[in-house]
Amino acid sequence: QVQLVESGGGLVQAGGSLRLSCAASGRTATPFDMVGWFRQAPGKERTFVARFISSNSGTHYADSVKGRFTISRDGDKNTVYLQMNSLKPEDTAVYYCNAGTGGINYWGQGTQVTVSS
């Protein structure tokens, strides 16, 4: 079985920074070819934030976070990070780690990020 666990969320003032981590455990039939971050505010849809494609080291970001957030991974590829700088109140949400392989997506439990102003 596969499990994703997020950590690093918290309360921060506008303009501050946080670094989220996503640790993956377990094994799948094929390696993960996509790892990304989504977020969801209460009463709103879950939206894409950033993704990292391990097969080609490609990255992609939502326009709302481009230039402020950076996705990265460790050398063993079992931990993915989201560095969030210049945080804004509109970044407040539960952030979810997502990993995909063979068309199957796995999700973490989420970590709360709250930005005050």
Return mean pLDDT, the chain. 91
Distance CA 23, CA 74 (A): 10
**Percent of the chain clearing pLDDT 70 (strictly above):** 97
What's the mean pLDDT in 24-43? Answer: 85
Rounded Cα distance between 67 and 93, Å, is 19
CB neighbour class for 71 (10 Å; exposed up to 12, middle 13-18, buried from 19): buried
Share of the chain above pLDDT 90, in %: 70
CA–CA dist 101, 86 (Å, integer): 32
Average pLDDT over residues 40-59: 88
Question: Which of these, 54, 67, 58, lies nearest to 100 by C-alpha position?
Answer: 54
In the chain the beta strands, taken as DSSP E runs, fall at: 3-7, 10-13, 18-25, 34-40, 47-53, 58-61, 69-73, 79-84, 93-101, 104-107, 111-116
The residues facing 37 across adjacent strands are 50, 97
Residue type for position 100: G
**Highest mean pLDDT out of 15-19, 34-38, 48-52:** 15-19
Residue 55 has pLDDT above 70, yes or no: no
